[in-house]
Amino acid sequence: MIKVTLVVYSLVLYLIAPLALIALTRKHSNKPYIGTRWKEYLGIPSVAKSDKPSIWIHTVSVGEVIAASQVIRELRLSYPDTPIIITTTTTTGAERVVNLGIDVIHQYMPFDFTWAVRKFIKHHNPAFLVIMETELWPNTLVTARKMEVGVAVLNARLSEKSYKNYAKFRTIFSKLMSGVSLVLCQHNQDKQRFSKLGVNPNSLHTTGSIKYDFKVSQTQIREAIRLKKILHRNKYCWIASSTHEGEDEILLKIHHSLLTSYPDLLMIIVPRHPERFNDVYKMALGYGFSSVRRSHICESSNTEKVNVLVGDSMGEMQMYLAMSDICFMGGSLLGEAVGGHNVLEPAALSIPTITGPSYFNFKEITESLAEHNGLFIANNADEIFNYIHNLLADEPNRATIGRNANNVFKSNQGSTAKAVNLLRGQINL
């Protein structure tokens, strides 16, 4: 049964791979260009072969790289002479790996063809593969097992919706997961769902979410202070973070309404995807805002009338948040299309946050913050407007909610240490 399923899956993958390759390698003005490294998607390496066994860590893009960064640092310290290979799918993720400043090798994740994964493993000689969250590619799992590469899933989560989908193929799922020696779950609910799907109970552990363990960048805090001085006329500031197409228009209209009561209010809008930076900037101008792009600000900038700042840079979200009094988290107004983004960065900076009704990707974190009065869940544009307006009007309450959020963030730290200890017990070099 599993052989037939993998054959069908592989045939479908052959059909869609050319389109995926075009999309991933297309040149964008605001996105790093892959150049000749596109061959890595086919398992063809761009670095020299090492005879030493390596540790392979797969992340997808920027968010996963950031989340895994502390684990990567700890493994680097634990295995100082071992090559560590970090794979990402996107070029923005690749750029983030380089910016970590850790001695690791970056490669693009090969497409999930057996032959491509075999090429990758033969060249890089990984003794162990750590998969961030639930990037469970069938041929990769099967090939890793056959080539005796240990596998762990880090920060694993399994929503009720995903569980129901996998449950339709329980036998196949449990077979694919048979080569996974560790599944480090964020929550007990995730652990229970994996167990119901036939995953070996001895491999299942609840370690919490490593996303709580990131460090606030003092460099970005200092840059936020510098930019705030340039934009000094804006007494208050709110941020629309990680927005998607379909949300920007709604949020810009909300800002237009807020300016009636707060004429000096600054809005920072940071699109999730860099290829949309210019479109959002043009949209802000089209709505009549005095708008500027972060990349165009310098000490001599004339920012006296600016009321919309478009965040057109990557890896500076903490800086944008540190400039802000209130955060709205994007990706949460589009139903099941996205499912929200990580609300922990504003919590780490004691910033009260508002999210839309779709946050299933961060359900436990979001509801924990809401339960402790550190976050608001808004169902529509009117509620978003009211929350922002009321928070701007009540500074003591705004500070209290920010502290509540920060307390939740701090009280959940420590997952990285648990995860790394378990990984050390499995990594056999």
Active site residues: 64
Element (H, E) at 70: helix 62-78
DSSP string, 142-162: HHHHHTT-EEEEEEE---HHH
Q: With both helix axes pointing from N to C terminus, report the angle between 138-146 and 114-124 in degrees, rounded to the nearest 10.
A: 50
- As a whole number of angstroms, the distance between CA 214 and CA 351 comes to 16
Count of beta carbons in the 10 Å neighbourhood of residue 190: 24
- Residue 272 DSSP symbol: S
CB atoms within 10 A of CB 236: 18
What dihedral do alpha carbons 296, 300, 305, 306 form, nearest 10°? Answer: 30
242 and 314 Cβ atoms separated by less than 8 Å:
no
CA pseudo-torsion sign 73, 78, 83, 84: negative
357 neighbors 379 (Cβ within 8 angstroms): yes
Amino acid at 129: L
Residues 6+ apart with CB under 8 A from 336: 358, 360
CA 409 to CA 211: how far, in whole Å? 9
Q: Are 346 and 353 a contacting pair, CB within 8 Å?
A: yes
Using DSSP's 3-state secondary structure scheme, residue 277 falls into helix
CA Rg value for the chain: 22
Contact 276, 180 (CB under 8 A): no
Bridge partners (DSSP) of residue 107 are 87
**53, 122 Cβ separation under 8 angstroms:** no
Whole-number Å distance between alpha carbons of 358 and 241: 15
Instruction: Report the alpha-carbon distance of residue 149 to residue 183 in Å, rounded.
Output: 15
Q: What is the full DSSP assignment across 81-121?
A: TS-EEEEESSHHHHHHHHHT--S-EEEEPPPS-HHHHHHHH
